[in-house]
Amino acid sequence: MKLTIWGAAQQVTGSMHLLQFEKYNVLIDCGLDYEKDTYQEENQHFPFDPIEIDLVILTHAHIDHSGNLPTLVRMGFEGQILSTPPTADLTELLLLDSVNIFLSKQHKHSKGRNRRSSGPQPLYLHKHVNETMERFVTIAFHKDFKVNEQLSVTFIPVGHLLGAAAVVLTIKDGEELKKIGFTGDIGRKNYPVLVNPEQIPQVDYLVAESTYGGRLHSADTNLQDKLVETINETCVKFPGRLIIPAFSIGRTQSLVYSLNRIFSEGLLPPVRIFVDSPLASFATDIYRKYQHLLNDESQDFYRRKGDEFEFDELSYVQDKRESLSVSNYHEPCIIISSAGMLEGGRIQDHLYYNIQNYYCTILFIGYCAKGTLGNRLLRGDSIVRLRNRDLMVYATIKQTDLLSGHGDHNDLVNTVKTQDPKKIKKVFLVHGEIKSMTTLSEALAKEGYSVEMPLKGVGYDI
């Protein structure tokens, strides 16, 4: 049996792991690799023949894990895609949104200087997404799903995102029975709405993420106190507005629930809140659909006070006209809009009208990659370019990691430490920058684990 790490190898994006055993090939995740500016062209090619893949197993819906599935289907994959039910629903939303992004980029290119060129071709179209979704077979958490005489699959909840799972494969390799685990992305404990990560049962090999290796989350305050403090400073003491860039799926729902608790408990006077993201509205409906999979606190709130994602102060903005009217709303308010790194989306409209507003605070609640507009604001740039205009930054810029959906260094170490170092043969680290991965590797080695940081395309006989 052979394991090859074809994606997220000593980098963060593009998770894709190939497991090959006699006459059967399994791909765990098939994400978009964003590491290069030419990622649309780079993701057109697979290092294997998609026709030869028999099965895909998807850990969760985020695009760096699911985003190249339609390309795989377009190029000949004919097998099933296994996931939890919420992952299937959220994946469809994200893949359709990816098509819209591809088409938007192509349209902007055709209107720009290079009109003779057709610009970057979409990786896939809506029809390919539809064909991909037809291949999904959904499996409940903790259910031992028998694929064939050789292979069975179990999904273990790990928080991070609704439906996100670690995958445990039980494989009959000749006369030997082997267990291989894939963590996907590990969430953090006590995260709003989501369940805590569960322990992964003992395996022989573990492919583990390392995103937050060497980094710890803030411990000097909690999310509720941070939100109350920021809203009070921005919208209560002064007649200002708080703009929160947030990814539409996952982070927005946890933020809305947190705000619901704050205002329902009377911790602040009423402040108008706008969620300006159609994708977030659709995703929130999916969270409602799977309310029974949310954490105990959220379910208790639902029983006592009703819908976690709906309250008097909150409005979901539906269309572009309504979105523009929010920019002209002159009372104190909170605007939650995507995208989280400020690269496109309606958030740019709100920035354009508020970046020079002394009474505006922009609160980042997630990571912003280098080169993004969000990163430029966080590093303190005094001038940013929006709509072909250079604008002075007079708004207050703040950041918190209290809504990061990733477990930190200690969470990652503790995830691996549930495995007996005398029984597990190897831990393969993926999905992290080299510095983070190295720090985590050193910590695990001190605990007695044999750790590998695979290079892309290097195969391991296991």
pLDDT at residue 405, as a whole number = 93
329 with 340: CB under 8 angstroms? no
Q: Helix (H, G, I), strand (E, B), or coil: what is residue 365? A: coil
Residue 312: phi, psi to the nearest 5? -55, -40
**pLDDT greater than 60 at residue 114:** no
Determine if the pTM surpasses 0.85: yes
- For 96-138, give the DSSP string: HHHHHHHHHHHHHHHHSS-TTS--SPPS--HHHHHHHHTTEEE
* Residue-wise pLDDT tens digits, 151-182: 999 999 999 999 999 999 999 988 899 999 99
Residue bearing tokens 């995703």: 283
pLDDT confidence of residue 174? 83
- What SS3 state is found at 148? coil
Q: What is the pLDDT of residue 111?
A: 65
200 has pLDDT over 80: yes
Average pLDDT over residues 209-213: 96
Residue 77 is predicted with a pLDDT of 98
Using CA of residue 184, residue 190, residue 194, residue 199, what is the dihedral sign? Answer: positive
Residue 40 predicted with pLDDT over 90: no
Could you read off the pLDDT of 279-292 as tens digits, one per residue? 999 999 999 999 99
pLDDT tens by residue, 406-437: 999 999 999 999 999 999 999 999 999 999 99
Q: Which of 112-126, 297-311, 336-350 has the lowest mean pLDDT?
A: 112-126
* Bridge pairing between strands 165-173 and 151-157: antiparallel
Residue 381 scores a pLDDT above 90: yes
pLDDT at 175: 85
Q: How confident is the model at residue 131 (pLDDT cuts 50, 70, 90)?
A: very high
Q: Is the peptide bond before 339 cis (omega within 30 degrees of 0)?
A: yes
Classify residue 232 by its DSSP letter.
Answer: I
State whether residue 88 is helix, strand or coil. helix
As a whole number of angstroms, the distance between CA 333 and CA 235 comes to: 7
pLDDT score of 116 more than 60: no
Specify the pLDDT at position 26. Answer: 98
235-245 pLDDT per residue, tens: 999 999 999 99
Integer distance in angstroms from the first to the last C-alpha of the chain?
6
Region of residue 190 (phi > 0: left; psi between -120 and 50: alpha; otherwise: beta): left
Q: In 232-312, which residue ranges form alpha helices assigned H by DSSP?
A: 251-264, 278-289, 296-305
Mean pLDDT of all residues in the chain? 94
Mean pLDDT confidence for 300-322:
95
Sign of CA dihedral 258, 263, 268, 274: positive
Region 335-362: mean pLDDT is: 91
How far apart CA 329 and CA 256 sit, in angstroms, is 20
Coil, helix or strand for 359? coil
Instruction: Name the pLDDT band for 120 (thresholds 50, 70, 90).
Output: confident
| Per-residue pLDDT tens digits for 228-271 | 999 999 999 999 999 999 999 999 999 999 999 999 999 999 99
- Residue 112: predicted pLDDT: 58
Pick from 165, 152, 188, 196: nearest CA to 87: 165
Given strand 333-337, what is the order of strands in its sheet?
314-316, 272-276, 333-337, 241-245, 360-364, 396-399
